Amino acid sequence: MAQQQKNGQEPDLNQLRKVRREKLAELQQNGKDPFVITKYDQTHHSQEIKDSFDELEGKTVSIAGRMMSKRVMGKASFCNVQDLKGNIQSYVARDSVGEENYKEFKKLDVGDVIGIEGEVFKTKTGEMSIHASHVTLLSKSLQILPEKFHGLTNTDTRYRQRYVDLIMNPEVKDTFIKRSRIISAIRKYLDGQGFMEVETPMLVANAGGAAARPFETHFNALNEDLKLRISLELYLKRLIVGGLEKVYEIGRVFRNEGLDTRHNPEFTLMELYQAYTDYNGMMDLTENLYRHVAQEVLGTTKIVYNGIEMDLGKPFERITMVDAVKKYAGVDWNEVETLEQAREIAKEHNIEFEERHKKGDILNLFFEEYVEEHLVQPTFVMDHPIEISPLTKKKPENPDYVERFEFFMNGWEMANAYSELNDPIDQRERFKAQEEQLAQGDEEANTTDEDFLNALEIGMPPTGGIGFGIDRMCMLLTDSAAIRDVLLFPTMKSIGGAEGKKTDKKEEFEPAVKIDLSKVKVEPLFEDAVDFDTFSKSDFRVVKVEACEAVPKSKKLLKFTLNDGTDRKRTILSGIHEYYEPEELVGKTCVAITNLPPRKMMGIDSEGMLISAVHEYDGQEALNLLMLDDSIPAGAKLY
């Protein structure tokens, strides 16, 4: 039935598009092709007219924008025009614009870009409007905008067609205007502190400065393999060596990792370095910068994210990683003397670690498991173990730890800062340890950068450095649920293209594999019957996946944020990460049991169960999440 409805709508949409093309052809034949117009004199934006109505009433203005609605009523009509600042109504009467222009206006479609010249006035109902004296078609829309009542709500379509999202959802446009202002405010603050903005290479032979897996590419002209940068750090430090005492860069970096609500493979990073200061200086700068940006963009130092208030006006908490683990996990790492002890305590607390992990690595695993979720208010977590900090100065009084902090809000890491390591001999040893980790299978480990070591040997002064995740900062300051909501064009899986290439490659190099159903093994039917009354109490509902992300520190679990047809969002955790990546599932329609009691999984309440089909094939378990036609609404009950 859903397919019939879909097929029933398609001819209508095609017919509407056909009519619009016919209108364009008629305009062109009559010498009125809108696409030959090169400019339009726009005197005001809609909001400026409303804000200055008393001053502009009775005066002639001209606005330009997209027509979002039109009501034709005989000899007089109304339309609504949306521009950068908002929208405004226009009254278009035949006696005011002339018979020919009115006839042209009546043929306009919702979505067309138009210019309106006329006098500012108020209607009888008190709405600020423009009494049109002339309407000009500036660009013909040949596509159909989403129906206004429902708007554009499918998240996958919104991210892929951001241009339509910006048209249909005013709050989205507001988010990106705020993002622009946030970056502008950061620059304004740092420039006022004497920092110099610079630009460093994106294509590098050695991608260092962070624990991340790089993207690789090939430069044909030099016949060399290169990488996309994962950090800005090592080049900015070279500039400190060169005598530029305060430098910063805001730019794209690229990390070959998964997609979820807080991660995108290309994202905006801001790093800065200041000679003759340390990580304490970076803490002061961070505190002042965040206050300045919030006040400048939001007009307050109190922000609300997902209903939780965070106060940037109060002094930020400062706590060591050891004290934080003691506070929230009840484990005093000062009493852990050996790697063997650390492993035993980890086993007692069900902390999964790898053979290569050392004592400091296990401390960090405890921090991630027990502490991070509690760091909602602005908090600096200081003095990290040396094992996880290859570019940082050791603490003189305790060389097992380094002068490093991470800045947390809302349980998220927002910034990472060091008293920068400037000892080239020590740095070479750290690189060597990283090379060993790389050999043991850690794809995120750094490799030795000889030119950077040469720069350190020239001599780098004592320096404080910090990296800020701009996208997460924008998420917090705009109350956006996912990183894709603050990226104009987030990374998306290609529709058809990527799958097509994979298929072509398989057909070229590998024989086609068909599932031999004789090898499929399914669980036997239950021998014991479940009474009908018990089963009938299970509430099977249709749910829409609004967000999906990997659960930190879990290789199996995915965390789903679901629309179940109610006013609140439902969280369900499902152990299907082995079979699906989070980005594949956003926007999908699934089935869940919604009346199960909440169950704690990795410290998160899972409110139900998503339904999957499981079978065994050739000795391997296979799983398929049940997905339905998107036309079925969220909350629909299954019988």
| Binding-site annotation, residues for Mg(2+) | 406, 413
> Buried b vs exposed e over 217-239: b needs ≥16 C-beta within 10 Å?
eeeeeeeeebbbbbbbbbbbbbb
Which residues fall within 8 angstroms of residue 129, CB to CB, at 6 or more apart? 88, 89, 90, 91, 120, 121, 122, 123
| Alpha-carbon gap, residue 34 to 37, rounded angstroms | 6
Residue type, 322: V
Which value, in Å, is the radius of gyration of the alpha carbons in the chain?
30
| Alpha-carbon gap, residue 173 to 575, rounded angstroms | 36
Structure tokens at 241: 């060596």
Annotated binding-site positions: 406, 413
CA distance to 90, 131, 395, 477, per residue, from 134 (Å): 11, 9, 73, 42
CA distance to 69, 71, 225, 338, 612, per residue, from 106 (Å): 12, 9, 59, 82, 53
Q: Report the DSSP pairing between strands 86-93 and 128-139.
A: parallel
Structure tokens at 559: 């965390």
First to last CA, the chain: 17
CA torsion angle 463 469 475 477 (round to 10): 20
Q: 10 Å Cβ neighbour count for 301?
A: 16
Q: Helices marked H in 479-573 — which ranges?
A: 497-509, 532-536
Cβ–Cβ under 8 Å, residues 634 and 587:
no
Q: What is the largest CA-CA distance in the chain?
A: 91
| Alpha-carbon gap, residue 105 to 36, rounded angstroms | 18
Structure tokens at 76: 């007089």
| Alpha-carbon gap, residue 607 to 573, rounded angstroms | 8
CA torsion angle 223 225 231 235 (round to 10): -40
| Alpha-carbon gap, residue 59 to 53, rounded angstroms | 10
Nearest to 28 by CA among 143, 140, 145, 144: 140
| Alpha-carbon gap, residue 183 to 251, rounded angstroms | 11
Q: How far from the centroid of its chain's Cα atoms is residue 504's Cα?
A: 31
Cβ–Cβ under 8 Å, residues 120 and 56:
yes
Nearest to 380 by CA among 454, 317, 294: 317
CA distance to 30, 197, 418, per residue, from 377 (Å): 64, 30, 21
| Alpha-carbon gap, residue 238 to 231, rounded angstroms | 14
| Alpha-carbon gap, residue 128 to 50, rounded angstroms | 7
Structure tokens at 58: 């009775």
Cβ–Cβ under 8 Å, residues 89 and 129:
yes
| Alpha-carbon gap, residue 35 to 139, rounded angstroms | 6
| Alpha-carbon gap, residue 639 to 636, rounded angstroms | 10
Structure tokens at 633: 């609404």
